[in-house]
């Protein structure tokens, strides 16, 4: 002990983590450069005079935002439709995600303690739940919407189902990761004292993770509002469908009014999230 | 018998051997203190007794059944009868004290009761009675992040008292308490074990507290049980041999690990007394 402290020069000549860090940095550059080249990322073209003129022409049409009364009525109805689609889709996603996340969370495994009986069966069940979540979110919601519009017809119904499926996969994965990344000792101690999984989740994991879970859920709701716009372009109703019509008719004023509505919705989601975090702090 | 370990050995996943050939048994209602230097295997021993670690070698029997031969449901029921006081209280800090204490009976409650108790506490009187034994009855509705480290440690103890287990395990239960509180808290644990007929096994860093409160002392070094004797037959020579890696000085409570001056203040540790 004392000798190690007396002659630090040999032991402390170099931080052992150094070469790994330099290697990692170089590897990052080697991987990123070709990716940038392949994706044709050439930001300087933005400042080319010709593209600037084209963009200015396009954006000039956006001002002023349209305030025609019958358009505003339509905008209000579409906004409600979009909110309804996003909220219903999130509810469906939650119903799919919560049980799958509950099954997939390793911190709630009873058989892992010891390890005890049924440990292999539990690993298989957990991995199948994870695989289910991957399948659900592997297909983007727009693709689900394209398929479902054909089955259910035009309108927000297809959007709700598409959002529910894709976001169910996303929420489930992130829920179980949030639960894993909080302090898992409380849940473990409860399981070791004979508690069931669900009770251990409610008394051991959720109290520590409630803030994160709530703010992620509201953030996803915000994403769902935006996604429902994209799905509108493929005929799933709401603000997106309205935007699609306005853009096709080159009506910039209407398009900018719709964009301002988006901004308001995102600000609303932000406010809800902040209020929830305060309430759960 | 409350528990029987025969020839238990355990190697952790990182290759470190924590227990070697441990044979130990206790009758229901006995009180044992496990002492030894840091890294002697005390915590691992308690985790084996709590059916939370499965030893690679040897046989374990807890409260009349072999935990690692049980099916999941009987194993869960066995675990509900074993209560562990952890060194770091495993309590989410956003919980209120009442909820943290009531969680002690989650192994006995049906699920509906566990959920209903989150809406309205199921047994406030029971939780308060457990807290009162540790002098914390007035903190029932405080959030755990409002408590000091020592108060939180006592809430963790109250949870296990409320559980009323048949086998009570305590891993350094008084490590963050001052000497007076440590003494009172051990008194409460001993009283609870006498009242409920529960077996109590505590690992203690402070040898003076072990000798004062526990009739039977188990000394551990490098994963082995080196002595297992009535407290009256533990000699200073045995203690210096046990703590040879820490300079041969048995630690006492509230004095840290190098308590050369304070050893003499504990009568049980004075050579003349033994």
What tens digit of pLDDT does each residue of A66-90 get?
Answer: 778 888 888 888 888 888 888 999 9
Does the residue A155 lie in any domain?
yes
Quick: pLDDT tens for A114-131.
888 888 899 999 999 999
Q: CB distance B75–A117 less than 8 Å?
A: yes
Higher pLDDT among residues B83 and A149, named by residue: B83
CATH number of B1-81+167-183+198-274: 3.40.50.300
User: What is residue B255's predicted lDDT score, i.e. its pLDDT?
Assistant: 56
Contacts of B206 (CB under 8 A, 6+ apart): B174, B182, B251, B252, B253, B254
Those residues with Cβ within 8 angstroms of residue A270's Cβ, 6 or more apart along the chain or in another chain: A222
Q: Does A279 touch chain B (CB under 8 A)?
A: no
**Residue A38 maps to a domain:** no
Q: Give the Å distances, CA to CA, from B14 to B11, B17, B18, B19.
A: 8, 9, 11, 14
Q: What is the CATH number of the domain that holds A214?
A: 1.10.3720.10
For the residues B211-223, what does the mean pLDDT come to? 93
Residues of B in contact with A114 (CB under 8 A): 51-54, 68
pLDDT higher than 70, residue A178: yes
User: Taking residues A159-187, what's their average pLDDT?
Assistant: 92
Contact A117 B72 (CB under 8 A): yes
Do the domain assignments include residue A128? yes
Comparison of pLDDT for A268 and A47, the residue scoring more: A268
- A209 is a domain residue: yes
Residue in chain B closest to A279 (alpha carbons) equals B94
Which among A115, A183, A202 is the nearest to B114, CB-wise?
Answer: A202
CA A278 to chain centre: 21
- Residue A9: what pLDDT? 55
CA nearest B99 in A: which residue? A203
What distance in Å separates the CA atoms of residue B246 and residue B257, rounded to the nearest whole number?
8
Q: Within a 10 A sphere around the Cβ of A127, how many other Cβ atoms?
A: 11
Query: What's the pLDDT score for residue A174?
Result: 94
| Higher per-residue pLDDT: A227 or B52 | B52
Task: Write down the pLDDT at residue B272.
Answer: 38
Q: Which residues contact A66 (CB under 8 A, 6 or more apart)?
A: A251, A253, A254, A256, A257
Q: Could you tell me the residue range of the domain that residue A116 belongs to? A: 67-280
Domain count of chain A?
Answer: 1
**pLDDT band, residue B264 (cuts 50/70/90):** very low
For B83, nearest residue in chain A (alpha carbons): A193
Please state, for a pLDDT cut of 90, what percent of chain A lies above it.
Answer: 31
3-state DSSP percent of chain B in helix, strand and coil, to 5:
40, 20, 35
| Percentage helix, strand, coil for chain A under 3-state DSSP, each rounded to 5 | 80, 0, 20
The structure tokens listed for A279 are 């309430």
User: B44: Cβ–Cβ under 8 A, 6 or more apart, which residues?
Assistant: B10, B12, B18, B19, B53, B223
Taking CB atoms within 8 Å and a gap of at least 24, the contacts of A72-79 are A72/A257, A74/A242, A75/A239, A75/A242, A75/A257, A75/A258, A75/A261, A78/A237, A78/A238, A78/A239, A78/A241, A78/A242, A79/A239, A79/A261, A79/A265
Confidence of residue A10 (pLDDT cuts 50, 70, 90): low
Does residue B262 have a pLDDT over 60? no
Residue B93's φ and ψ, nearest 5 degrees, are -70, -15
Please tell me the predicted confidence (pLDDT) of residue A116. Answer: 82
pLDDT band at A11 (very low <50, low <70, confident <90, very high): low
Strand order in the sheet with B17-26: B17-26, B3-11, B57-62
Q: Flag whether A49 is in a domain.
A: no
In a domain, A59, yes or no: no
Q: Does A108 touch chain B (CB under 8 A)?
A: no
What is the DSSP annotation of A4-22?
Answer: HHH-HHHHTSS-TTHHHHH
| pLDDT band, very low/low/confident/very high, at B265 (cuts 50, 70, 90) | very low
Pick the closest to residue A79 from A271, A267, A274, A264 (CA basis). Answer: A264
Kindly state the average pLDDT of the residues B213-223.
94
* Mean pLDDT rounded to a whole number for chain A: 85
Going by pLDDT thresholds of 50, 70 and 90, the confidence category of residue A269 is confident
A44: in domain: no
Residue B10 has pLDDT above 90, yes or no: yes
Tally helices (H) and strands (E) across chain A. Answer: 13, 0
ipTM, two decimals: 0.89
For residues B148 and B135, give the distance between their C-alpha atoms in angstroms, rounded to a whole number.
14
pTM of the model: 0.82
Nearest CA in chain A to B66: A116
The string of pLDDT tens digits covering residues B156-214 is 999 999 999 999 999 999 988 988 999 999 999 999 999 999 999 999 988 999 999 99
- Span B227-250, pLDDT tens digits: 999 999 999 989 998 988 888 788
Query: Residue B270's pLDDT is what?
Result: 47
In whole numbers, what is the pLDDT of chain B averaged over residues? 89
Q: Are A195 and B107 within 8 A, CB to CB?
A: yes
Could you tell me the residue ranges of all domains in chain B?
A: 1-81+167-183+198-274, 89-164
Cα–Cα nearest to B32, from B211, B189, B202, B195? B202
CB contact under 8 A, A207 and B70: no
Residue A280 Cα, gap to closest chain B Cα (Å): 9
Q: Please indicate whether, in this complex, the C-beta atoms of B104 and A194 are within 8 angstroms of each other.
A: no
User: Does B149 score more than 50 pLDDT?
Assistant: yes
């Amino acid at each position: 002990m004392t000798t190690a402290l007396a002659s630090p020069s040999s032991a402390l000549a170099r931080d052992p983590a150094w070469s790994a860090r330099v290697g990692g940095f170089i590897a990052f550059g080697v991987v990123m450069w070709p990716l940038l080249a392949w994706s044709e990322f050439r930001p300087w073209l933005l400042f080319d005079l010709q593209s600037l003129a084209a963009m200015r022409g396009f954006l000039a049409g956006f001002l002023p935002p349209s305030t025609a009364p019958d358009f505003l009525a339509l905008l209000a109805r579409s906004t409600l439709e979009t909110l309804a689609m996003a909220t219903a889709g999130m509810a469906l996603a939650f119903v799919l995600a919560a049980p799958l996340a509950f099954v997939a969370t390793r911190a709630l495994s009873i058989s892992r303690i010891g390890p005890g009986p049924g440990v292999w069966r539990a690993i298989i069940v957990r991995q199948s739940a994870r695989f289910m979540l991957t399948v659900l979110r592997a297909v983007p919601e727009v693709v689900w919407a394209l398929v479902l519009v054909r089955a259910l017809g035009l309108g927000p119904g297809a959007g709700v189902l598409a959002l529910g499926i894709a976001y169910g996969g996303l929420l489930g994965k992130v829920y179980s990761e949030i639960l894993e990344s909080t302090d898992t000792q409380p849940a473990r101690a409860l399981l070791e004292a004979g508690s069931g999984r669900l009770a251990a989740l409610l008394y051991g994991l959720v109290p520590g993770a409630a803030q994160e879970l709530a703010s992620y859920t509201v953030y996803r709701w915000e994403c769902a509002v935006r996604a429902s716009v994209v799905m509108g372009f493929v005929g799933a109703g709401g603000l997106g469908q309205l935007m699609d019509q306005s853009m096709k008719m080159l009506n910039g004023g209407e398009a900018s009014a719709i964009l301002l509505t988006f901004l308001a919705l995102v600000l609303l989601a932000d406010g809800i999230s902040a209020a929830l975090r305060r309430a759960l702090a | 018998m409350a528990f029987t370990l025969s020839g238990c050995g355990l190697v952790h996943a990182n290759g470190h051997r924590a227990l070697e050939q441990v044979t130990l048994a206790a009758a229901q209602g006995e009180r044992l203190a496990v002492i030894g230097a840091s890294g002697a295997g005390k915590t691992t021993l308690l985790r084996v007794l709590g059916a939370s670690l499965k030893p690679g070698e040897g046989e374990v029997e807890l409260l009349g059944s072999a935990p690692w031969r049980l099916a999941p449901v009987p194993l869960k029921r066995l675990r509900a009868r074993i209560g562990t006081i952890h060194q770091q209280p495993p309590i989410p800090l956003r919980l209120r004290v009442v909820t943290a204490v009531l969680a002690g009976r989650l192994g006995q409650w049906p699920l509906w009761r566990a959920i209903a108790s989150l809406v309205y506490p199921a047994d406030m009187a029971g939780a308060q009675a457990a807290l009162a034994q540790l002098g914390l009855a007035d903190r029932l509705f405080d959030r755990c992040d409002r408590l000091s480290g020592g108060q939180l440690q006592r809430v963790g103890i109250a949870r296990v008292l409320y559980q009323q287990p048949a086998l009570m395990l305590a891993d350094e239960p008084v490590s963050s308490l001052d000497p007076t509180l440590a003494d009172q808290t051990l008194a409460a644990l001993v009283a609870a074990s006498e009242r409920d007929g529960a077996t109590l096994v505590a690992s203690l860093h402070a040898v003076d507290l072990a000798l004062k409160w526990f009739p039977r002392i188990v000394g551990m070094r490098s994963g082995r049980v080196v002595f297992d004797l009535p407290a009256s037959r533990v000699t200073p020579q045995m203690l210096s041999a046990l703590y040879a890696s820490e300079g041969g000085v048995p630690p006492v409570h509230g004095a840290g690990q190098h308590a050369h001056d304070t050893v003499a203040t504990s009568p049980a540790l004075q050579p003349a007394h033994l």
